[in-house]
Amino acid sequence: MSVMVGTEPRPVPAPLPGLWTFWADRYVSPGVFEPVGPLQATSFNCIRRLSGFGTGDIIIVTETASLTRAELLRLWGWRLWAYYGDPPRPVWCGMPNGITDDGRAVISFTLAEVTGYLRKRQWDLAGSYGTLVGSPATHRRYDQVEQVNIARDLAAPVADVGVAITTSPGPGFPRDRSMAFLEGESRGQLLVNLAGVIEGPEWRTNYYTGNDGLPRAELAIAYPRVGSDLPGLGATVPGTAVDYTLKWDADEFRTRTYAVGEAPESVDGVEQPKISHMTDRPQAGFPRLDEVDDWPGVTVMSTLQERAETSATIYATPTLDASVNVPAIQPPYGTYGPGDTVHLLITGPLQPDGFEIEGRLTELSVNARESRCGWTVSVTEPPGQPRQTLTQQLADLRRLATGVFRWGAAPA
């Protein structure tokens, strides 16, 4: 028995309403992309993050695509530019990393924000600020090197996908780091780790139009912060915001923090013990609350101490995350970004007299069809780590297996 697939025509969903337009360009060579043309979409969602990598998804009408079908199938081979507003301005750029084809006249793509390319690149000693230790197959060490320069070394490959890097070290903050050949899950994760300590650098992706009229993406790395601290960006519930959610989480709340790293390299053939550090911060009115943080790959004591002090500071109280949905046109999406300070005034059942929050935008999620922009606001700096999902736990197991294969030990 045979089954015929796709013989019945299916209606094409209506194109997106409002002020959204989409364009594509194709990869030619490292840092070089060739403009192609417009794409018609029936759905688009995207996420931008502070010191993190965004994601997106889009449904494209195949018959109107300026890319050929063969080109559409080239995952990581082209970029999608999303424009919003009047006049239109680039607000997001991503590269396809997944396709769903269910026989309709449209194709669904999942997208990685263009800087997420760093998750596809490994630490292979490229960079100019560290000092090679031993042979090129060992590791690079940074001794009291400005942290923004370390971050720039980690992020250098974004130039291959047409992203410029700008740095602003501010007053400066030198750090010690030691990174082995192929350390960590990816350069992207190493960059996240560097940003995730107290007084660490921050980064976000900015979008703008160049003098030649073409869209541009920029990875901005800065200390002490990226984003604007100017007043004026805010939402009121009820009022401009559509809805809100407040979450207090004491899962990581602690008064004592143990940080455990990896054993340094052997000395004269003698194996060294794992390094560890304890930070004790008792609080009146609470019993002792212990947490142990494992930091595979950390072999420098000063780095481990930074991680312990960071966790002890972040989780000295239960974390509070607030999320609100606001219209994409009020304030206009594209005029603000992750890292900007936002002021929320919320009136609800638990806050009948009004509850005010001033924090940082750590994530922006956009639903183009509903013309909504979701704000995630954190009053904790740097943003607290969310609980691991099952997918993340499985990813950790995969990395562990990779580490055992490569080095016979836990992965860096």
Could you list the pLDDT tens digit for every one of the 412 residues in the chain?
444 444 444 555 566 767 899 999 999 999 999 999 999 999 999 999 999 999 999 999 888 788 888 899 999 999 999 999 888 999 999 999 999 887 778 899 999 999 999 999 999 887 888 888 876 667 888 999 999 999 999 999 999 999 999 999 999 999 988 888 888 889 999 999 999 888 899 999 999 999 999 999 999 999 999 988 877 787 776 667 777 887 878 888 999 999 998 888 776 777 888 889 999 999 998 899 999 988 877 888 888 998 899 889 888 888 777 888 888 877 888 889 999 988 888 776 666 666 777 888 999 999 998 888 999 888 754 444 444 555 556 666 666 666 555 554 444 3
19 phi-psi bin (left φ>0, alpha ψ -120 to 50, beta other): alpha
Task: Return the pLDDT at 2.
Answer: 47
- Tell me the sheet residues that pair with 184: none
Which of 51, 82, 45 shows the shortest CA–CA distance to 363? 51
Distance between CA atoms of 180 and 136, rounded to whole angstroms?
10
CB of 237 within 8 A of CB of 244?
yes
Task: Return the pLDDT at 399.
Answer: 61
Task: Return the pLDDT at 404.
Answer: 56
Which of 33, 70, 64, 57 shows the shortest CA–CA distance to 112? 57
Task: Return the pLDDT at 315.
Answer: 87
Task: Return the pLDDT at 385.
Answer: 43
Task: Return the pLDDT at 395.
Answer: 63
Sheet holding 202-209, edge to edge: 163-168, 215-222, 202-209
Task: Return the pLDDT at 6.
Answer: 45
Strands 215-222, 163-168: pairing kind? parallel
- The model's pLDDT over 360-403, given as tens digits with 9 standing for 90+, comes to 899 999 999 888 899 988 875 444 444 455 555 666 666 666 65
Decide whether 20-117 matches 229-250+318-381 in CATH topology: yes
Distance between CA atoms of 145 and 160, rounded to whole angstroms?
25
Task: Return the pLDDT at 328.
Answer: 82
CB of 344 within 8 A of CB of 356?
yes
For the chain, the structural domain boundaries read: 20-117, 229-250+318-381, 253-309, 387-412
Task: Return the pLDDT at 264.
Answer: 81
The contacts of residue 387 (CB under 8 Å, 6+ apart) are 249, 251
Task: Return the pLDDT at 65.
Answer: 83
- Tell me the sheet residues that pair with 249: 319
Q: Which helix (H) or strand (E) holds 278?
A: strand 276-280
- Tell me the sheet residues that pair with 176: none
Decide yes or no: CATH 2.40.10 for domain 229-250+318-381.
Answer: yes
Burial environment of residue 242 by CB neighbours within 10 A (0 to 12, 13 to 18, 19 or more): middle
Distance, C-alpha 70 to centroid of its chain: 30
Task: Return the pLDDT at 131.
Answer: 87
Burial environment of residue 276 by CB neighbours within 10 A (0 to 12, 13 to 18, 19 or more): middle
Task: Return the pLDDT at 258.
Answer: 94
The topology under which CATH files domain 20-117 is Thrombin, subunit H (2.40.10)
E strands present in 181-233: 202-209, 215-222
Q: How far apart are the first and last CA of the chain?
A: 53
